[in-house]
């Protein structure tokens, strides 16, 4: 990890007020040799805009796939809410870094399309019917090796039931609002592992692992392996306005004189529905 310590260098930042940003250090005091905050130096060739999107979504994706699920090349990975911020990052890392076969599961055809653009090999629109049955049609009795779930509830349970022998499921979030209970017999029958992931907690409990997720994300980005999805760019004062009017899409500002982006960018619409998640 390169800690930022000199003016002129660019850095991205993660704090636990839920904020991420990137920028350039313009000056430091004469006695300053390091920084107190958690900063990572942005490598040459990574634009500030991309760097600012990496910490939470890609940090979580890398931790889930690499550290928790130990995903291997060629394995099949099922990603739920695949067009959300975390889901797209998981699809990107699983496909383009780990060379896994990704099934992207999402709640609409537009979201499935977005996940395909990120590299998923196949998709399931669970808005139309059962996830497990659709996965079975895609992979047959081989099922999936890894599932990364940010939705919870029935979607989590169907993902759990879609696991192969010695499969691993990682619980990342409960965007759907329901926390499922794990039927322990399912773990036993196929020697399956269900595990949790709380990325931010690694900052206190295991900083080297936490830090590695950030430096890996920056490195993958520099190598051109991953491409974070930027749904839209807002000025800071516009963000303030959006946050104070959350959920009221009709109040959103025009983007390039058009409001069509609301339906063209599924992940952004969802972010607006649930900005606090």
CB of 34 to ligand NAP, least distance (A): 27
| Choice between 81 and 192, CB closer to ligand NAP | 81
**Which of 48, 51, 138, 120 lies closest to 83, judged by CA?**
120
CB of 191 to ligand NAP, least distance (A): 25
CB of 22 to ligand NAP, least distance (A): 18
Q: Map residue 123 onto helix, strand or coil.
A: strand
| Choice between 4 and 62, CB closer to ligand NAP | 62
C-alpha 144/C-alpha 78 separation (Å) is: 7
CB of 41 to ligand NAP, least distance (A): 23
C-alpha 273/C-alpha 123 separation (Å) is: 23
Q: Map residue 272 onto helix, strand or coil.
A: helix
- Find tokens 């992931």 and name the residue: 197
Question: Could you tell me how far CA 14 lies from the centroid of its own chain?
Answer: 15
| Choice between 41 and 149, CB closer to ligand NAP | 149
User: What does residue 43 show for φ and ψ, rounded to 5 degrees?
Assistant: -70, 160
CB of 258 to ligand NAP, least distance (A): 22
CB of 115 to ligand NAP, least distance (A): 9
| Choice between 6 and 245, CB closer to ligand NAP | 245
Torsion region of 100: left, alpha or beta (phi above 0 gives left; psi -120 to 50 gives alpha): beta
Q: Which one-letter DSSP state was computed for residue 178?
A: B
Site residues for ligand NAP per CB under 6 A:
56, 60, 81, 83-87, 106-107, 111, 150-151, 172-177, 197-200, 267, 270-271, 273-274, 277
CB of 131 to ligand NAP, least distance (A): 10
| Choice between 4 and 120, CB closer to ligand NAP | 120
DSSP letters, 7-25, are TT-EEEEE-TTS-EEEEE-
| Choice between 41 and 267, CB closer to ligand NAP | 267
- Find tokens 């994300």 and name the residue: 217
Q: What is the dihedral of CA 235, 50, 19, 1, to 10 degrees?
A: -150
CB of 248 to ligand NAP, least distance (A): 16
Q: Map residue 56 onto helix, strand or coil.
A: helix
| Choice between 10 and 216, CB closer to ligand NAP | 216
Q: Which are the contacts of 240, defined by CB distance < 8 A and separation ≥ 6? A: none
| Choice between 10 and 125, CB closer to ligand NAP | 125
C-alpha 159/C-alpha 202 separation (Å) is: 25
């Amino acid at each position: 990890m390169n800690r930022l310590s000199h003016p002129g260098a660019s850095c991205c930042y993660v704090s636990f007020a839920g904020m991420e940003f990137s920028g350039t250090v313009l000056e430091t005091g004469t006695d300053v040799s390091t920084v107190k905050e958690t900063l990572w130096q942005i490598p040459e060739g990574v634009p500030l805009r991309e760097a600012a999107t990496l910490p939470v979504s890609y940090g979580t994706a890398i931790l889930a796939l690499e550290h928790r699920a130990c995903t291997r090349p060629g394995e099949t990975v099922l990603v739920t809410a695949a067009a959300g911020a975390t889901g797209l990052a998981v699809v990107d890392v699983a496909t383009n870094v780990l060379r896994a076969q990704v099934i992207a599961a999402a709640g609409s055809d537009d979201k499935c399309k977005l996940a395909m653009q990120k590299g998923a090999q196949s998709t399931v629109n669970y808005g139309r019917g059962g996830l497990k049955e659709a996965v079975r049609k895609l992979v047959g009795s081989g099922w999936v090796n890894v599932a990364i779930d940010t939705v919870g509830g029935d979607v989590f349970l169907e993902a759990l039931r879609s696991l192969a022998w010695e499969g691993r499921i990682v619980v990342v979030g409960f965007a759907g609002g329901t926390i499922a209970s794990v039927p322990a017999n399912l773990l036993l029958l196929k020697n399956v592992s269900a595990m949790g992931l709380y990325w931010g907690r690694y900052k206190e409990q295991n900083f080297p692992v936490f830090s590695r997720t950030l430096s890996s994300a920056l490195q993958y980005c520099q190598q051109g392996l991953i491409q974070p999805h930027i749904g839209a760019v807002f000025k800071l004062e516009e963000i303030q306005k959006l946050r104070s009017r959350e959920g009221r899409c009709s109040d959103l500002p025009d983007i390039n004189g058009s409001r069509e982006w609301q339906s063209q960018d599924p992940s952004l619409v969802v972010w607006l529905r649930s900005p606090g998640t």
